[in-house]
Copies of this chain bind each other. A is one copy, B any other.
């Protein structure tokens, strides 16, 4: 069980989002309100994309490549709340699209390769939830990963295997479809092993241009997931958060649990749905597993 946050919009200093708000993600690492576990101290991670024009001009921060290029990742074991390097990096990095994750292990080893986000090429992936009885399903799920990707699996979490399944099933061509086929495979393999409710997930995934966030569980009782209201509404609610004044209308936060408890600031994603940022015509779309 974990807590995560994904940001997409006007470039901001990570510190403004990660540390400044009341009940920030860093607070949640120690005192989660909605989580299964109140403490998320078993490692953490950041993943961020550079600004497009910075990369283009070559005069800004690095991270090279075309478009926004490959994201940078910073992960460490131990709690986020007392990590000084995290604070330094959050005070330095300004990004238009970033992920942050605090982990609560349920027995899996506490090691960087089990920390989110996971990266593959341009992709970032993070997850809160679980494949039920993963130790029994792990082998069959790993076998379904593209053999060329098998050796990219470095850790022992369900989350990383879910990621490489989604890559296998076409993340590059069709994100919602690839995630649906991943979920479909987990459910099929789970059922073959007699697991009643195999999947429980809230997932964020990005290629640096767009951000997709999914909420789904086999049982229809998914972990919480919220997206922020439109910035003009947030500014009214959070007059204390200076960074909100400068963000454009497409800016959006998606979080495991709300930062602060202002009525109207956060909208819960419905069961079995996903959202895309920058938002397309709808705030959210239905999500269902598909055969892999």
Interface residues of A (CB under 8 A from B): 13, 15, 30-31, 38-39, 41-42, 50, 54, 60-64, 72-79, 82, 84-85, 88-89, 91-94, 105, 109-113, 134-136, 138-139, 142-143, 147, 150-151, 153-156
Contacts and interface: CB of A to CB of B under 8 A. Distances in A.
14 contacts: A30-B39, A42-B79, A62-B91, A63-B91, A63-B92, A73-B88, A74-B85, A76-B85, A84-B109, A109-B154, A111-B111, A135-B151, A154-B156, A155-B156
Nearest to A50: B92
Given A15-B62, A154-B156, A110 B139 contact: no
Identical chains bound together, number? 4
A38 B31 contact: yes
A93 B62 contact: yes
A110 B78 contact: yes
Contact of A82 (B15, B42, B64, B82): B42
A112 to B, nearest CB: 7
A15 B135 CA distance: 26
B136 A61 contact: no
Contacts of A112: 84, 109, 111
